[in-house]
């Protein structure tokens, strides 16, 4: 079947993703036991459809399997590959990082749609500090992903400082986007920035406005 590609959608190309990012190197660093929930992978297909029919069609052409068991764990290497391809298809090679930041802004929504996520949200206030503490507990118990750490290091009326360790997704793009999504869900205004110690560890700072 021929797939029509609009001006806002391109043919999927892993080579183009590699040419504009560090993904060829980064994917090789991810161990086999670094896993994430299927709900995150499903989110990508859903977001592709929200972007455009053409984008979703090209994503599905490239990845023949695009629906997974939401609560089961799958390789984060696959998740990052899929996210990079979707970003390249819709935003182009030069826009892969921009696209990943946008895609990851829906990550918390994806997790909160799972049975465990809904149960956790039911017992907390929908405020930014409460949400971040819940995420901190989820990372510590490996109920969100299997491999990384998320820690709240300091809070004040004007700033929240977190630290992310052993994160194979690009912290300055993917994790900044994810926290921006949490802010939006909490109806909180703020600026999110990352200060890396190395590609997989760094501070993510939330300045409230």
**How far apart are alpha carbons 68 and 11 in whole angstroms?**
23
pLDDT at res. 109 = 74
pLDDT at res. 5 = 39
pLDDT at res. 122 = 63
- Cβ-based neighbours of 178, under 8 Å, separated by 6 or more: 104, 105, 107, 108
Angle at 181 between CA 101 and CA 144, to 5 degrees: 90
pLDDT at res. 159 = 97
**Boundaries of every domain in the chain:** 14-100, 110-208
CB of 153 within 8 A of CB of 175?
no
For residue 28, what are its two tokens? 């090789």
pLDDT at res. 125 = 77
pLDDT at res. 158 = 96
Sites in the chain below the pLDDT cut of 70: 1-9, 111-124
At the fourth CATH level, the homologous superfamily of domain 110-208 is H-NOX domain (3.90.1520.10)
**How far apart are alpha carbons 177 and 180 in whole angstroms?**
5
Identify the DSSP state of 164.
E
């Amino acid at each position: 079947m021929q797939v029509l590609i609009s001006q806002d959608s391109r043919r999927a190309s892993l080579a183009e993703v590699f040419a504009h990012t560090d993904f060829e190197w980064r994917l090789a660093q991810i161990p086999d036991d670094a896993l994430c929930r299927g709900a995150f992978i499903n989110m990508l297909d859903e977001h592709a459809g929200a972007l455009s029919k053409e984008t979703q069609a090209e994503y599905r052409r490239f990845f023949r399997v695009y629906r997974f068991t939401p609560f089961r764990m799958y390789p984060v290497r696959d998740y990052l590959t899929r996210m990079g391809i979707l970003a390249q298809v819709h935003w182009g090679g030069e826009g892969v990082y921009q696209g990943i930041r946008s895609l990851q802004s829906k990550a918390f929504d994806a997790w909160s749609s799972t049975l465990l996520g809904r149960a956790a949200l039911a017992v907390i206030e929908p405020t930014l500090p409460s949400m971040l503490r819940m995420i901190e507990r989820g990372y510590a118990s490996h109920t969100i992903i299997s491999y990384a750490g998320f820690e709240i290091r300091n809070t004040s009326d004007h700033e929240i400082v977190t630290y992310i360790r052993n994160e194979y997704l690009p912290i300055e793009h993917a994790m900044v986007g994810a926290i921006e999504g949490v802010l939006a869900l909490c109806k909180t205004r703020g600026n999110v920035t990352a200060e890396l110690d190395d590609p997989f560890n760094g501070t993510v700072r939330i300045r409230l406005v």
